[in-house]
Amino acid sequence: MSSDISKVLVVGGGIGGLCAAIALRRQGIAVDLVEIKSEWTVYGVGIIQQSNVVREMARLGVLEGYLEAAYAFEDVGIYDLQGNALVRIPGQRLAGPEYPANVGISRLSLHQVLSTTAIDLGTQVRLGLSVESFQQDAAGVDVSFTDGSAARYDLVVGADGVYSKIRGMLFGDTYKPRFTGQAVWRYNFPRHPSIDHLASYVGAEGNAGLVPLSDDLMYMFSTSHEPGNPRYEPAQLAELMRDRISKIAGLVGELREQITDSSQVVYKPMEVVFVNEPWFKGRVLLIGDAAHATTPHLGQGAGMAIEDALVLSLELCGSGSVEERLERFMTRRFERCKYISENSIMAGEREMARDATFDRIGLTKAMLKLTAEPI
Ligand SMILES: Cc1cc2nc3c(=O)[nH]c(=O)nc-3n(C[C@H](O)[C@H](O)[C@H](O)COP(=O)(O)OP(=O)(O)OC[C@H]3O[C@@H](n4cnc5c(N)ncnc54)[C@H](O)[C@@H]3O)c2cc1C
């Protein structure tokens, strides 16, 4: 370990921040983590994690607990809006032949696995506070927190999401989240026996996906064009979600009438941001959505945050000045995250344009090929 990086502050206790804490602790680096929420909760529904993420979970040393909490599956099935199979894309077992290719996992379960591991490894977590300000010199960063406390760190990692305060402190107003024109609708159901893989239903008239989360649970997602980013009455959400998937038949059509509880609909406008220059200044660095929040079309946003965390821990322990190590981190991360970011956004634009020539299958295959490459 490079002795000049022995104490790191991670700002944000989401997926990226927790993975950074785990990866840094495994390198013997002391980690303080501050999370702005005083109740460390995450919202319902689940998340798709593809083969590159399963591989990195193994390298983070959390694979066992993670797989216990997840639903493992192999293939991705793409169907038309009538439910006819178009293609089955086989999964790649990148973590090793004994481990599954992909998983679906509830966000709450993922949070529990990651937060328990980070704390067990000695991460000092403080909830309900943030960074008030920082000042850095060549050897470290003096941080003042919103509760009046202060501490000095060798490095500060901003993992505080799409609305990152740390990004604003580094780059001012240069990078602001942008609404893409689309939103995502999600709803949990008891798992249907046929949903033992990720099933994606696509066509010009709409789209939806069904993702297994456990033996008993799956969730549906659908993306829709929402010009002007309207604010809907919470009580309307079930009816609106039914409307957005009304052109889809097959299993999605059967499930549609079960979307009745508006309080269980998770509606999220899509917002993106990409920091198009090095994600660090001096000893303060951004990872995850703080640097490159994109749309969920390729199911890789969290995957990129997790990879950032792992690569950061590896590079910090390498040789050279802090700047050289952070530059090597950027070399390993920038183009890969840019590809995911741009192509996810492009997929949403094609959906909004109802572009029948959009080769979604080709894009999915290209993304899987790229993300299978080692980081
Ligand atoms: C609808 C939708 C579906 C998605 N589906 C998938 C998927 O299937 N697969 C996938 O890989 N990705 C998916 N993503 C993307 C994924 O959720 C994000 O990329 C991922 O959560 C990013 O992790 P993060 O830790 O960088 O940020 P976040 O998860 O946003 O975590 C940031 C944390 O920082 C905290 N915080 C914020 N501000 C401060 C502050 N000032 N001080 C301290 N703490 C702060 C927040 O409370 C939060 O806990 C999806 C995204 C959306 C919107």
Cβ 301 under 6 angstroms from ligand 1: yes
Domain housing 120: 7-45+62-71+103-177+272-353
Q: Pick the atom of ligand 1 nearest to 301's CA.
A: 19
Q: Is residue 41 in a domain?
A: yes
Q: How far apart are the first and last CA of the chain?
A: 20
| Within a domain: 54 | no
Asked if the model's pLDDT at residue 1 lies above 80, the reply is no
For 147-196, what is each residue's pLDDT tens digit? 999 999 999 999 999 999 999 999 999 999 999 999 999 999 999 999 99
Q: How many CB atoms lie within 10 A of CB 204?
A: 14
| CA pair distance 184, 193, nearest whole angstrom | 24
| Rounded mean pLDDT, 19-36 | 98
| Mutation to probe ligand 1, out of 9, 43, 47, 286 (largest number of atoms < 8 A from CB) | 47
* Residue 227 domain flag: no
Q: 33-47, 92-106, 219-233: which range is least confident on average?
A: 33-47
Q: How does residue 76 score in pLDDT terms, banded at 50, 70 and 90?
A: very high
Of 256, 221, 199, the closest CA to residue 84 belongs to 199
**Rounded distance between C-alpha atoms, residue 124 and residue 325, angstroms:** 25
Using only C-alpha atoms, the chain has a radius of gyration, in whole angstroms, of 21
* DSSP secondary structure string for all residues of 345-357: HHHHHHHHTT-TT
CB of residue 59 inside a 6 A radius of ligand 1: no
| Per-residue confidence band for 127, with pLDDT thresholds at 50, 70 and 90 | very high
- Is residue 34 a contact partner of residue 145, using CB atoms and an 8 Å limit? yes
Count of structural domains within the chain: 1
* 293 CA → ligand 1 middle, Å: 8
Lowest-confidence region among 201-210, 221-230, 260-269: 201-210
Residue 370 placed within a domain: no
Q: Which position has the token pair 């079309």?
A: 297
Residue 140 Cβ contacting ligand 1 at under 6 Å: no
Grade residue 7 by pLDDT with cuts at 50, 70 and 90. very high
Is 330 a member of any domain?
Answer: yes
Q: What average pLDDT does this structure show over 306-314? A: 98
In a domain, 315, yes or no: yes
CATH (domain of 276)? 3.50.50.60
Give domain status of residue 349, yes or no. yes
The Å distance, Cα 163 to ligand 1 centre, comes to 10
Cα angle: 351, vertex 353, 358; to 5 degrees? 55
Q: Does ligand 1 come within 6 angstroms of the Cβ of 34?
A: yes
**What's the rounded Cα separation, in Å, for the pair 315 and 318?**
5
Span 54-80, mean pLDDT? Answer: 96
In a domain, 156, yes or no: yes
